[in-house]
Amino acid sequence: DAGITQSPRHKVTETGTPVTLRCHQTENHRYMYWYRQDPGHGLRLIHYSYGVKDTDKGEVSDGYSVSRSKTEDFLLTLESATSSQTSVYFCAISGRNNEQFFGPGTRLTVL
């Protein structure tokens, strides 16, 4: 357990509403990541952060933004949720040996 929590764990929202997912880590790791998991696609990187206020895009960043104002928190925002963003979202940190440690995931449903 790498001390990673995600909130909320489940969320149902309507198309067009903003949604923010939070990832919190207690390990003081520099690198943090947001992935989405969909059947047939594995995990795909949305955004990642390599330090406070330092973020970059992943392969599926359209429609998502992130912020990292503190080392321990990495926020993922869907500005205007769409049904295609229904997914399971995982936060992760990068360990000392480049492995990823994951949070428990957030299941988001956009109706």
Partner 1 sequence: AQTVTQSQPEMSVQEAETVTLSCTYDTSENNYYLFWYKQPPSRQMILVIRQEAYKQQNATENRFSVNFQKAAKSFSLKISDSQLGDTAMYFCAFTAVSFKTIFGAGTRLFVKA
User: Do 81 and 70 form a contact (C-beta atoms < 8 A)?
Assistant: no
Rule CB under 8 A: is residue 86 a binding residue for partner 1? no
Do the Cβ atoms of 88 and 107 come closer than 8 Å? yes
Where in 42-81 is the site for partner 1 (CB under 8 A)? Answer: 42-45, 48, 50, 58
Of 13-21, 36-44, 69-77, 78-86, the segment contacting partner 1 by CB under 8 A is 36-44
* Residue 54, both tokens: 């330092």
Angstrom distance (rounded) from CA 60 to CA 7? 21
Q: Is 31 in the site for partner 1 (CB under 8 A)?
A: yes
Tokens of 42: 């594995």
Which chain residues interact with partner 1 by CB under 8 A? 31, 33, 35, 40-45, 48, 50, 58, 88, 90, 92, 94, 97-102, 104-105
